[in-house]
Amino acid sequence: MIDLNNLTIKKAHQAMKAGEYSCLDLTGAYLNEIEKKNPKLNAYLEVFTESALKEAKIADKKFKEGTATLLTGIPIAVKDNILIKGKIASAGSKILENYKATYDATVVKKLKKEKAVFLGRTNLDEFAMGASTENSAFGVTKNPHDIERVSGGSSGGSAAAVAANLCLAALGSDTAGSIRQPSSFCGVVGLKPTYGAVSRYGLIALGSSLDCIGPIVKNVRDAEIIQEAIKGWDKSDSTSLREVKSQKLKIEKSKFTVGVPNIRLTDGQIKSETLKNLEEAIEKLKSLGYKVKSIELPNLRYAVPAYYIILPAEASANLARYDGVKYGLREKGENLMETYFKTRGRGFGPEVRRRIFIGTYVLSAGYLDAYYNKANAVRDLIKKDFEKAFEEVDLILTPTTAGPAFKIGEKSADPVQMYLEDIFTVPANHTGLPAISIPYGQAEEMPLGIQFIASHQNESLLFKVSKDFLGEKD
Amino acid sequence: MIGKNDIENLSKLARIELDEEEKKSLAEDIEKILSFVEQIKEAGGEIQTEPAVGKLRNIMREDKNPHKKGIHTEELLETAPEREGAYIKVQKIL
């Protein structure tokens, strides 16, 4: 029996290298777990049993030849809005239910090059719009810690799969917190890289100025390994960052300062346990030798409202391509115009329709300055707040979420309540900053998470301090 | 105030069919969401047209070495809802 619960990428690599078990054994072990637990959790929308076993054999060959890299044979799950050539990419939507990807996303191409094993595609809120997977056209993903609760979203399938040992690592995407919030809810590690550090080519677009692909994993070192593998400039993504400086950081703790913004109980729906947990995290940082300082981010309270203007605007433009002509669902009407209306009316679920309508409204003639342009001005203010903060501190600490995973159905009736889920995570998307959620503490017997935010392209700082905080050895 | 007329107009712009019941519920939701996002009116900041992050850069390449003609045709056409030979079939436009 392979101890999947305590497995890391490095441990699995060493075991396969030493011949303790083969990649076929490892892949088989995960497929067994999936068969046992997935019907209840609904983390995977599809399991690639056949191709995964084939890939495992290829990986085993690489080990035999001595050409295996760290990710060779590592069984991973992919959020179902990231394209894998020849596989369905549904984005959790009826409109793409049968759409087969015609090319590999850059991140997938990079992982394929290392001969990772693709176990399947994971559930998400439709087009990644949501914070609970309740907006998926294919049912909610349940939280492995308590199946009456949500796994978070939108990358809820990926986070639940990692937490329940249904894969060793997973890819998610994060537009307002969609990697970090479900990671926090499921008690795992989630990284949203610097905007542009990882190519978006082959990620089904939601909000193009906010979207990032990143890892969801069991520990910080694994996040670092996946991030190293998937990052890099890409000619196919015009917002891809050309220079990614790799910093060798020697942290002198006595001079290293972590900033904590003033958070009030009135911010969003923050629970008192969350604030208490944050206080404990601060004490722990201090005991580890870090300096902790309170900071002001005065425009933080506008982050969620500004997001729910910018995102719907960008999404309504991005989703205009689903028209029933080139690919995806076609609901035929009397004429072409009617076909458009029917296809989009029946193919998109309620939250997607809601956001397309909001986006259409805020972009319509006469409203542009009042909404979209104003929201971008606010976004710039938020960016300046963070720039100012990083003049005084090296990292910023916040809770990842206002509270632990909520009950299924608890927030689905009120879109604004659901939107407030993003309160601590969305600033990193507005600003393009890298941020990580790591498990720390509990409330209502469910995991809580804390979030570190670094300045641009300083992922290495996030890894270093997170490992130190969790007592993780390389 | 978002009324039924506004929703019908948005439905036309977004090309999304709605039934009567949803027109009502969407009007309520959108009203609620707009009053929430309108908080940003209290914030400062100069209106600008340049985005704060994610600046697009043109990525140019030499106009040469095209891929071989037709190598992607079949797989792309296969994703179309309806086709005729090497064409995607749609209803009459004019």
**Domain residue spans of chain B:** 4-42
Task: Give contacts of A380 with chain B, Cβ < 8 Å.
Answer: 45-46, 48, 52
Cα separation, A399 vs A271, in Å, equals: 11
Residue A172 near residue A75, CB atoms below 8 Å: no
**Beta-carbon neighbour count of residue A131 at 10 Å?**
28
- Does residue A474 register a pLDDT over 80? no
Q: What is the pLDDT of residue A207?
A: 96
CATH of domain B4-42: 1.10.20
Angle in degrees, CA A449, A3, A107, rounded to 5: 60
Q: What is the pLDDT of residue A415?
A: 87
Query: For A119-133, A274-288, A418-432, B48-62, which range has the lowest pLDDT when averaged over its residues?
Result: B48-62
Query: For A251-265, A420-434, B16-30, which range has the lowest pLDDT when averaged over its residues?
Result: A251-265
Average pLDDT, chain A: 95
Task: Give contacts of B22 with chain A, Cβ < 8 Å.
Answer: 350, 353
Q: Which of B40, B67, B71, B93 to mutate to test the interface with A (most CBs of A within 10 A)?
A: B40
* Closest C-alpha to A436, from A446, A447, A424, A444: A424
* Closest C-alpha to A396, from A298, A271, A261: A261
Label residues A386-425 b or e (16+ Cβ within 10 Å = b): beebbeebbbbbbbbbbbbbbebebbbeebbebbbbbbbb
Q: What is the pLDDT of residue B52?
A: 53
Residue A472 near residue A220, CB atoms below 8 Å: yes
CATH of the domain at A155: 3.90.1300.10
pLDDT tens digits for A144-164? 999 999 999 999 999 999 999
Which tokens in the block code for residue A393? 């501190």
Cα separation, B27 vs B2, in Å, equals: 6
Q: Which of A361, A369, A457 to mutate to test the interface with B (most CBs of B within 10 A)?
A: A361
A146, β-bridge pairs: A143
Share of chain B above pLDDT 70, in %: 89
Q: Between the CA of residue A322 and those of A10, A62, A135, A412, what are the distances in Å?
A: 42, 41, 18, 25
Across the interface, of A340, A378, A432, the residue whose CB is closest to B15 is A340
Peptide linkage before A154 cis (omega within 30 of 0): yes
Q: Using pLDDT thresholds of 50, 70 and 90, give the confidence band for residue A269.
A: confident
Kindly determine whether residue A341 and residue B16, on different chains, have CB atoms separated by under 8 Å: yes
Q: What is the pLDDT of residue A270?
A: 87
3-class DSSP assignment, residue B88: strand
Share of chain A above pLDDT 90, in %: 90
Task: Give contacts of A350 with chain B, Cβ < 8 Å.
Answer: 22
DSSP state of B38: G
The average pLDDT across A301-308 equals 95
Cα separation, A418 vs A414, in Å, equals: 7
Which tokens in the block code for residue A424? 């601590």
Of all helices (H) and strands (E), which one includes residue B5?
helix B4-14
Query: For A1-5, A38-42, A269-273, A374-378, which range has the lowest pLDDT when averaged over its residues?
Result: A269-273
Kindly determine whether residue A326 and residue B59, on different chains, have CB atoms separated by under 8 Å: no
Q: Can A154 be counted among the known catalytic residues?
A: yes
Across the interface, of B47, B58, B72, the residue whose CB is closest to A373 is B47
The average pLDDT across A335-345 equals 96
* Closest C-alpha to A402, from A418, A421, A387, A426: A421
> What is the number of helices (H) and of strands (E) in chain B?
3, 2
Domain with A46, as residue range(s), is 4-230
pLDDT tens digits for A103-130? 999 999 999 999 999 999 999 999 999 9
Label residues A195-227 b or e (16+ Cβ within 10 Å = b): bbbbbbbbbbbbbbbbbbbbbbbbbbbbbbbbb
Task: Give contacts of A309 with chain B, Cβ < 8 Å.
Answer: 37, 40
Kindly determine whether residue A305 and residue B29, on different chains, have CB atoms separated by under 8 Å: no
- Does residue B45 register a pLDDT over 90? no
What dihedral do alpha carbons A219, A220, A226, A229 form, nearest 10°? Answer: -150
Give the distance, in angstroms, between the CA of residue A35 and the centroid of all CA atoms in the same chain: 24
3-class DSSP assignment, residue B83: strand
Q: Tokens 């992982």 — which residue?
A: A111
Q: What is the pLDDT of residue B22?
A: 92
Cα separation, A292 vs A191, in Å, equals: 22
Tell me if A79 is assigned to some domain. Answer: yes
Q: Tokens 């400086």 — which residue?
A: A245
pLDDT tens digits for A26-76? 999 999 999 999 999 999 999 999 999 999 999 999 999 999 999 999 999
Q: Which residues contact A141 (CB under 8 A, 6 or more apart)?
A: A41, A42, A43, A122, A123, A133, A150, A151, A156, A157, A160
Q: Can A291 be counted among the known catalytic residues?
A: no
DSSP state of B55: -
A407, β-bridge pairs: A149
Q: Using pLDDT thresholds of 50, 70 and 90, give the confidence band for residue B77.
A: very high
Q: How many CB pairs under 8 A join A and B?
A: 164
pLDDT tens digits for A184-225? 999 999 999 999 999 999 999 999 999 999 999 999 999 999
pLDDT tens digits for A223-254? 999 999 999 999 999 899 876 565 556 677 77
- Does residue A356 register a pLDDT over 90? yes
Cα separation, A470 vs A463, in Å, equals: 11
Task: Give contacts of A348 with chain B, Cβ < 8 Å.
Answer: 16
Total count of domains within chain A: 1
Which tokens in the block code for residue A377? 């001005």
Kindly determine whether residue B48 and residue A376, on different chains, have CB atoms separated by under 8 Å: yes
Cα separation, A152 vs A183, in Å, equals: 8
- Does residue A267 register a pLDDT over 70? no
Residue A314 CA neighbour count, 13 Å, CB half: 22
